[in-house]
Amino acid sequence: MTEPSPSARERIVAGAADMISRRGLNATSIRDTAKHARAPLGSTYHYFPEGKQQLATEAVRYTGAWTARVLRKELAAGPVAGLRGFLALWRKIVVDSDFRAGCPVLAVSIEEPVDDETPAALAAAAEVFAEWERLLAGSLREHGVGAKQAGQLATLVVAAVEGTVAMCRAKRSAQPLDDTAEQLQSLITAAIGD
């Protein structure tokens, strides 16, 4: 049995996430996203009447949910397995894209808002990072790590992996991810006492 093909809206959101991961938010236009997703431009405006910020917000949430699903699955086997899964996910993205793609959540986070208001996409990015931290911290707590240390270690993991993805793109090498993986695994192993 074949899986149903994604709807036009889903293709546009996934296409936006991919484009933002490669170009950043400011360099990603609705027109380019529609073309990338092989969707009519009119459909894009139909699904996202508020424009680029609405589409970017959905792309961030899409990436966040997809990554959280992977994390939940891997964390079922414990925090070290969760870390490995998280790192493997980003390794695959940067390597398979020949170091052209990174994380759209990070990309949205680092671009300066056009006005003094916090854009919805930036607020969504903060929520996504917090969710990844909650998942990691929860697994660490379940394995005997105190709440404060679990939270701090989860923040370190997310920050280190996101920063390392950017370094991999700049250096055109997965070595920063491998180095980070080794050190983060040591920290988690020491924290859970394995």
pLDDT tens, position by position, 37-64: 888 888 888 899 998 889 999 999 999 9
Tens of pLDDT, residue by residue over 167-176, are 999 999 999 9
State the pLDDT at residue 60: 96
Eight-state DSSP code of residue 112: P
Mean pLDDT of 132-159: 98
Residue 33 CB coordination number (10 Å):
27
Dihedral sign, Cα of residue 108, residue 23, residue 166, residue 77: positive
Residue spans of the domains in the chain: they are 60-192
Mean pLDDT of 149-155: 98
Mean pLDDT of the chain: 92
Mean pLDDT of 22-34: 89
Write the single-letter amino acid at 70: V
Contact call for residues 68 and 105 (beta carbons, < 8 A): no
| pTM across the whole model | 0.91
Tens of pLDDT, residue by residue over 69-101, are 999 999 999 999 999 999 999 999 999 999 999
Tell me the CATH number for domain 60-192: 1.10.357.10
Please report how many Cα atoms fall inside a 13 Å half-sphere around the Cα of residue 16, on the Cβ side.
32
Q: Is 9 exposed, middle or buried (0-12, 13-18, 19+ CB in 10 A)?
A: middle
